[in-house]
Structures are given as C-alpha cells and as structure tokens.
Amino acid sequence: GAGVSQSPSNKVTEKGKDVELRCDPISGHTALYWYRQSLGQGLEFLIYFQGNSAPDKSGLPSDRFSAERTGGSVSTLTIQRTQQEDSAVYLCASSSNSGGPWETQYFGPGTRLLVL
C-alpha cells in the first residue's frame, strides 16, 4: 500500500482480556516502531524493530506488553490482561534503510483502544 496501515481502527475490550493490534508498514521499510499516545499526552515509545536484529523493547511499560514482527514486515502488538490505563491510541511507524536519526518515520492512523 501507499502508507502504513493499522488494524483495527478502534477496539473496545473488557478489563482482563487480551488484545492484538496489527501494523502493516510501508513495503520495503526495514524499521518499525510502536508508540502509545494517551489522552492529552505526548507519544510514548514502546518498541523498535530493525531488520533481523533483536528488537529494542526498552519502552514497553510492563511484561503484559509484547510485540513481534514476522518476516520483517507485519507486526503485532499484544497486550495481555488489559487494564483501564492501557486505553490509548497505539501508533505504528516505519522508516527505510537504517532507521537511524535521519530517517523520517511514516506513521499509520493508529488503533484507538478503550478498556472498560
């Protein structure tokens, strides 16, 4: 596709349930990022994938959060045993080449998660 796509667009779930959020990066982009944007807050880095290297998971807030990237393309962010404070917009971004400081990150539209 022309840009980064994410699904679902919106997700409402009950506290304690698991959710999976999907990101399809721009074709050919080797770097993929997940961010969280809570209401009234700035974007918060969660996890970073670059090619076949081990991901940088340093931003994940707890062990309930995990992510994988299959085949160097599609990524899935999983939140287990969701809590109300997990409610936020989850944004995915991808960039080409090294994914270093000079690469522009292209963002998807986000998945709006509401935990009741």
**Could you give the CA distance from residue 16 to residue 81 in angstroms, rounded to a whole number?**
4
Q: Give residue 1's Cα distance to chain centre.
A: 18
With CB under 8 A as the rule, give the number of residues binding another protein.
28
User: Closest Cα to residue 51, out of 75, 29, 27?
Assistant: 29
101 binds another protein (CB under 8 A): yes
Task: Kindly write down the DSSP assignment for every residue of 29-65, as one continuous string.
Answer: --EEEEEEE-TTS-EEEEEEEETTSPPB-TT--STTE
79 binds another protein (CB under 8 A): no
User: Closest Cα to residue 29, out of 98, 101, 100?
Assistant: 98
Instruction: Report, in Å, the least distance between residue 28 CB and another protein.
Output: 17
x/- map, 6-45, another protein, by CB under 8 A? -------------------------x-x-x----xxxxxx
108 binds another protein (CB under 8 A): yes
104 binds another protein (CB under 8 A): yes
Q: Which residues bind another protein (CB under 8 A)?
A: 4, 31, 33, 35, 40-45, 48, 50, 56, 91, 93, 95, 99-110
